[in-house]
Amino acid sequence: MARWGAADLWWMSPPCQPHTVLGKKLDMDDPRSASLARLLKLIEELRPPNLAMENVPGFAGSQSHELLVNVLSQSGYAISEEVVCPTQWGWPNRRQRFYLAASLLGEAGLVQPSQAQAEPFGTMNFIDPEQDGNSQLLVNESFMERYANAIQIVDRLENQVATNCFTSAYGRSPTRCGSYLWLPGGSGVRRFAPREILRYLDFPQSYQLPRHLSLKKLWSLAGNSLTLGSTRRVLSRLSVVNGQV
């Protein structure tokens, strides 16, 4: 326990399934919320100097959220909360999330968030043209006939467009899992490659996924990852991260 308590910052990403739009919304009655309940007890006991967390927007206003805020307030933390989407600062991927930062230093431990820097909207900035010829990414005509009206198709040549949130079900579930790409010259529609999805999530080019894994496994790993720009924003609220304490 002493080793945990010595950390300057705890980052938390409790299971989001108890709060998702398509889930049963069982909140603290969901067995997956047991990890959050355990963390709340540890926070009361160890009182780490700084905390940050992310979850789906449905977490805000939930019983879990109320319990978290009560524990933090009673333990002496100053708290900052917001629901943020990367599109708010020009990043072309819709990924709305709830973020929280808390500090035992009170208001002195929190600062105004830095402005995330991003490329202007532009699909070409995120696409690997060589993937257009990847037959594993192409969707067939029967798929389009069935799902064309239920999916978002991004035009490669359209700059002012944001993709939908990519989930770990991309490549397995046809809808509600991310966008598709319309290829130039009417040559078809394809899925986004895992490397492209990571680019939309603001991962650096130096970040590499294991090459020996299957495409479906790579999609699963890439989907549901944090948008790094949003993570930088919430962490920049903490003075300890900004080198001010």
Planar angle of CA 184, 185, 186, nearest 5 degrees: 95
Task: Please compute the mean of the pLDDT values over residues 150-177 and round it to a whole number.
Answer: 92
Measuring CA to CA, which residue among 177, 183, 169 is closest to residue 134? 183
Query: Model confidence over 96-147: pLDDT tens digits?
Result: 999 999 999 998 999 987 665 555 566 788 999 999 999 999 999 999 999 9
pTM to 2 decimals?
Answer: 0.88
Task: Give all domains of the chain, ordered by start, each with its CATH number.
Answer: 2-114+227-235 (3.40.50.150), 123-222 (3.90.120.10)
Instruction: Classify residue 131 by its DSSP letter.
Output: G
Query: Model confidence over 34-63: pLDDT tens digits?
Result: 999 999 999 999 999 999 999 999 999 999
CB 57 within 8 A of CB 16: no
Band of residue 1 on the pLDDT scale cut at 50, 70, 90:
very low
* pLDDT over 50 at 245, yes or no: no
Least confident of 74-78, 181-185, 240-244: 240-244
Q: Which residues contact 241 (CB under 8 A, 6 or more apart)?
A: 9, 50, 235
Amino acid at 202: D
Give me 148's structure tokens. 């064309």
* pLDDT over 70 at 224, yes or no: yes
Q: What is the pLDDT of residue 199?
A: 94
CA distances from 177 to 2, 161, 191, 227 (A): 41, 17, 11, 16
